[in-house]
Structure 1
């Protein structure tokens, strides 16, 4: 069955997508010498301004700060030779990058705002809600937020690692209906098109399963960015869990956004049933404190909307406290759910496989209803 490309790309038009997140990759924004591709960027900004004029609220997730700053500081390896170089390059490049976006948008009468976030800003529930409120207010006021990871303070342990997943989390926080990842690739293929001439573009993905994940290639075409196809599929999972469609499209041509809307050439990942706000936030979490392995019976019960009881658990992994986010792993090693732990890891390990009637004697206190309650859990 041939996918209806025009219908799929229309999902991201002002008429069908009141709030849109557009992610622009480093290789598109910055040339190999580390200079901003101003003429190309001007055509994209015109697309965004036209969408804005048509009533669409647009947020931009922009890469390029490290590449731009490395050129200005004359740092080797594009500013990625060390963490310190990357942080210095980001601090130097971000101010220039933001100014370019602000000037280009202002030329069309559009006000820009800058938001720099860290992983913790969207992983901590309270800070996530604050970021969500800020995004909502800016977009409601007709401002175009330009968002990037705060690479000047991020470390390997506390970072998104790529702006694909950041864009999906921003869409979730902003309540966007669509995400367009403009990249140096034009979509998901059945195999790496650089190595397999018979590889075919997949125009539509209705469910991200093992077969789809197997098609991903972790490498980038340019070598400049940090995300490959794996990160884009992970971004699609996050966006889809929040009820947003996500498209991967090439940005190599002028007017990249409008070109995608007109041609439909790319891959669209369609959302399934939209989860509640709290559960969507859980599904999109990137930092997980631990895991609980379960038997087949418990896995089946979770699929029917049940809580995870101690009797269905087989093993506890990691060091976590009550309230931390943990994954649920089925007998095949697949992550099937994610939720807030009702016990710390030590007590959870003591009650693995035990019936509810035995828990009070084992723990020495009145037990909680479940290791993870269904109200604080989302299926993946």
Structure 2
């Protein structure tokens, strides 16, 4: 498997059982410090890092002295509201001690299901990473109900990896990889070092959750792996309850790597290229040269707009001679695109009356 050192953008998922002492309900501060040492080490060599962290409900229930066992929805949301402050504060302090800036991002399933919210999330994560921050992502348990929940942070982590364009996703688990059976019950169960495809046989081997705090079992981890691999992102399952789990993984700790075919960029381009266009933009020769040189498409180079499209829809990019150059995801709806075509980026806000994005289609959202 390709070394973690080759990754340029990594998402790390941390479960409640690793972060919170189950019996006492307290934060495992020493473990968190070790994790942040690993994050600082990755950042020092230029790797972007996003943490997807559970723990808010587990921390909050102890503070509120809620009973053990299943909580009502209202109790869970109250615990999350209290615990999220503690969780964010702990990450902020530990990362700041290492010269890093923490950012909190709370999501629900609606934020990935709705195209506009998905694009907003993607843009925010991209900007945070460009500015050197470490986003700490969690499900927004204070408002999420069953209809808008991911339900587990394995799948949330996979969605964040896809949204952020990560090339590797690491699930820190209470087991050291994916096994042919439950290693706690089956002495003959064998661990896979590498999985290149999730076959029906692999799916049949998945077990159920073993941890009292974590909701995610191997079935949800396979779902996460499927989503990550489809987006060109490799995924690892490895033991998380050591003090430096990422350093241990780099040093050769047991793990199962689910290998993707292609890079996140290649898979994203293929996904865009397969979409049905909802409209058209005609561009001039200067804009055509610019986008083929790797630049974003700015409104100044657009000479025509047609179709009924919304922000985030795929639209065709047409050259002066009428030839189709490719597809792209638009950052403006049809009405606003028509209003700003041919204009310099510095006057868009005056025309639209709200802070605007410089590019009509970003270079990362084009497929030729």
TM-score by length of 1: 0.69
Distance in 2 between residues matched to 1:232 and 1:186, nearest whole Å: 13
Question: Is residue 2:34 matched to residue 1:25?
Answer: no
Match of 2:68 among 65, 68, 77: 77
- Report the equivalent of 1:215: 205
Instruction: Spell out the pairing of 1:171-182 with structure 2 (5 A cutoff).
Output: 171-182=161-172
Show CA shifts across 1:154-175 (max 9, x none). Answer: 1112100000111111011111
Question: Is residue 2:229 matched to residue 1:240?
Answer: yes
Instruction: Spell out the pairing of 1:198-347 with structure 2 (5 A cutoff).
Output: 198-219=188-209, 221-273=210-262, 274-276=266-268, 279=271
Three-state SS of the structure 1 residue aligned to 2:18 is helix
Question: Is residue 2:146 matched to residue 1:150?
Answer: no
Post-superposition offset of 1:197: 0.6
Q: CA RMSD in A?
A: 1.5
Match of 1:53 among 31, 44, 47: 44
Distance in 2 between residues matched to 1:277 and 1:126, nearest whole Å: 19
Runs (5+) with no aligned partner, structure 2: 275-368
Three-state SS of the structure 1 residue aligned to 2:93 is helix
Three-state SS of the structure 2 residue aligned to 1:77 is coil
Distance in 2 between residues matched to 1:116 and 1:46, nearest whole Å: 24
- What count of residue pairs does the alignment treat as equivalent? 269
Match of 1:167 among 157, 167, 174: 157
Three-state SS of the structure 1 residue aligned to 2:251 is helix
Question: Is residue 2:31 matched to residue 1:40?
Answer: yes
Post-superposition offset of 1:259: 0.3
Post-superposition, which runs of at least 4 consecutive aligned residues in structure 1 deviate over 2 A?
272-280
Three-state SS of the structure 1 residue aligned to 2:21 is coil
Distance in 2 between residues matched to 1:144 and 1:277, nearest whole Å: 26
Post-superposition offset of 1:20: 0.4
TM-score by length of 2: 0.71
Runs (5+) with no aligned partner, structure 1: 1-6, 283-380
Show CA shifts across 1:166-187 (max 9, x none). Answer: 1111011111100000011111
Show CA shifts across 1:80-126 (max 9, x none). Answer: 42111111111110010000001000000000000000110011111
Contact 1:87–1:152 (CA<8 Å) still a contact in 2? yes
Distance in 2 between residues matched to 1:104 and 1:179, nearest whole Å: 22
Contact 1:247–1:268 (CA<8 Å) still a contact in 2? yes
Distance in 1 between residues matched to 2:150 and 2:270, nearest whole Å: 20
Distance in 1 between residues matched to 2:78 and 2:162, nearest whole Å: 30
Match of 2:118 among 98, 104, 128: 128
Contact 1:242–1:277 (CA<8 Å) still a contact in 2? no
Three-state SS of the structure 1 residue aligned to 2:100 is coil
Distance in 1 between residues matched to 2:241 and 2:191, nearest whole Å: 17
